[in-house]
Amino acid sequence: MDQLFRKYLNSVLNPDEYSRVSDFLTDVNNEEVIYDLIKPFWDKDINEADGVGQIPNPELRTKIIQAIYLNDRKTEKRKLTAYKMVFRIAAILAVGLFISTVFFFQKSTKDHSFAEMQTVSTPFGAKTSLKLPDGSLVWLNSGSSISFTSNFEKTRMVSLKGEAFFEVKKNGQPFIVSTAFGDVQVKGTSFNVSAFYGEKFQTTLLTGIVNVKEKQTGKEVSIQPGQQAGIYGSDLKVENVDTDMFLSWKDGKLIFRNEYLPSVTKRLERWYNVKIELAGDKRLSEISYTGVIEMESFSEVLQLLKVTAPIDYVYDETTRTIQIKYKSN
């Protein structure tokens, strides 16, 4: 359970694992065990509070405190000590951050004669997985959202903003991922689609065959496992890639291989829910990184960047912004 709980806090559980952890957390008989599991993580957050560490969702934390207070008054239960209150908040945050801020369902009320629209969103700093009505599985990356209709089994189309990995179940009907840049059509396969605004549109195939169509030009290509289709300017190009580089995020890893700092910071912003600004120094754009990030805190990542390249950083607590500058000898 310790390993599952660690994956839970990092939002990288698959649907079966999430069901196991959810059942465990909602069982009142496990209260003491939950306390022991979350205490190390909570202590770590407190110790980092004076650095770049930050409460993932301060508004949610405030609501939780209020909810606890009102609930205790209503049921006339024993008063909590300040110490117990801290860990009760922490335990609820473990559930609340995943359920309350990761899942956001939105239903259309404009015309009930049409199929209802559902949207699942993840804020920066969180990831989640879900099962679509046809049984297909989706892993949704930080800062992303996916929408689909209630009659999904008849028309298997989803609208994606951001990044998601799909394991599509075969049922004879085409499965279409629509983005602002291009559409991906499959029948039964596993693949990753990245469609963030201001970044390259990329579809990376793990198994099966997919067709990728660029929206502006209408150009269409088919890709095989181990290949990636990307939009570069007005061109839709196919190339062979190491799929781990583009799929490892769903397993809680960020892999960098000779990746330049501007691209690295964009991924870190979404991963850790922070704002990173690079000073106007072209030397920063020439710095590249190679490495793997897994379970590290953001302060640890910043220290890693600092010791492997000539950079320094300043953290602004008011704006929650990290400013990175080139460090001259």
Q: What is the CATH number of the domain that holds 320?
A: 3.55.50.30
* C-alpha span between 34 and 14 (Å, rounded): 20
* C-alpha span between 88 and 10 (Å, rounded): 19
| End residue of a domain, out of 54, 70, 99 | 99
Q: Same domain for 232 and 256?
A: no
Helices of type H across the chain: 2-9, 15-25, 31-47, 58-75, 82-99, 244-247, 261-272, 282-285, 298-308
C-beta separation of 61 from 93 below 8 A: yes
pLDDT digits (tens, 9 = 90+) for 198-227: 888 999 999 999 999 998 888 999 999 999
Greater confidence, 293 or 103?
293
Which whole number is the average pLDDT over 278-307? 88
- What would the two tokens of residue 187 be? 């029948």
| End residue of a domain, out of 211, 243, 275 | 243
Total domains in the fold of the chain: 3
pLDDT digits (tens, 9 = 90+) for 132-141: 988 999 999 9
Nearest of 125, 57, 51, 124 to residue 314 by alpha carbon: 51
Q: Same domain for 154 and 203?
A: yes
Tell the burial category of 101 from Cβ atoms under 10 Å away from its Cβ (0-12, 13-18, 19+). buried
Q: Check the CA dihedral 25-29-34-37 and report its sign.
A: negative
* C-alpha span between 161 and 70 (Å, rounded): 38
- What would the two tokens of residue 311 be? 């950079």
Contacting residues for 17 by C-beta, under 8 A, at least 6 apart: 4, 7, 8
Greater confidence, 87 or 262?
262
Nearest of 175, 146, 144, 173 to residue 159 by alpha carbon: 146
pLDDT given at position 227: 96
Which domain, by its residues, includes 302?
252-326
Cβ count near 230 (within 10 Å): 19
pLDDT band at 308 (very low <50, low <70, confident <90, very high): confident
* C-alpha span between 14 and 127 (Å, rounded): 11
Of the listed ranges 77-86, 150-159, 262-271, the one predicted with least confidence = 77-86
Residue 322 per-residue DSSP state: E
| End residue of a domain, out of 243, 266, 301 | 243
- pTM value is 0.67
Residue 81 per-residue DSSP state: P
CA distances from 290 to 106, 182, 251, 258 (A): 39, 30, 18, 5
Name the β-bridge partners of 144: 122
Greater confidence, 115 or 90?
115
* C-alpha span between 186 and 255 (Å, rounded): 27
Q: In this structure, is residue 158 part of a structural domain?
A: yes
Q: Quote the mean pLDDT of the chain.
A: 77
Q: Same domain for 124 and 238?
A: yes
Q: In this structure, is residue 180 part of a structural domain?
A: yes
Q: Same domain for 141 and 232?
A: yes
Q: Same domain for 137 and 235?
A: yes
Q: Same domain for 239 and 263?
A: no
pLDDT given at position 149: 85
pLDDT given at position 285: 92
Q: Same domain for 126 and 86?
A: no
* C-alpha span between 188 and 167 (Å, rounded): 8
Which whole number is the average pLDDT over 88-104? 42
Task: Tell me which residue has tokens 């950083």.
Answer: 313
Q: Same domain for 285 and 211?
A: no
Contacting residues for 82 by C-beta, under 8 A, at least 6 apart: none
The CATH number linked to 209 is: 2.60.120.1440
Dihedral, CA of residue 1, residue 168, residue 183 and residue 251, to nearest 10: 20
Look at residue 145 and tell me whether its pLDDT is greater than 50: yes
Q: In this structure, is residue 269 part of a structural domain?
A: yes
Q: In this structure, is residue 104 part of a structural domain?
A: no
* C-alpha span between 168 and 208 (Å, rounded): 10
DSSP letter string, 186-199 = ESS-EEEEEE-TTS
- What would the two tokens of residue 279 be? 């000073």
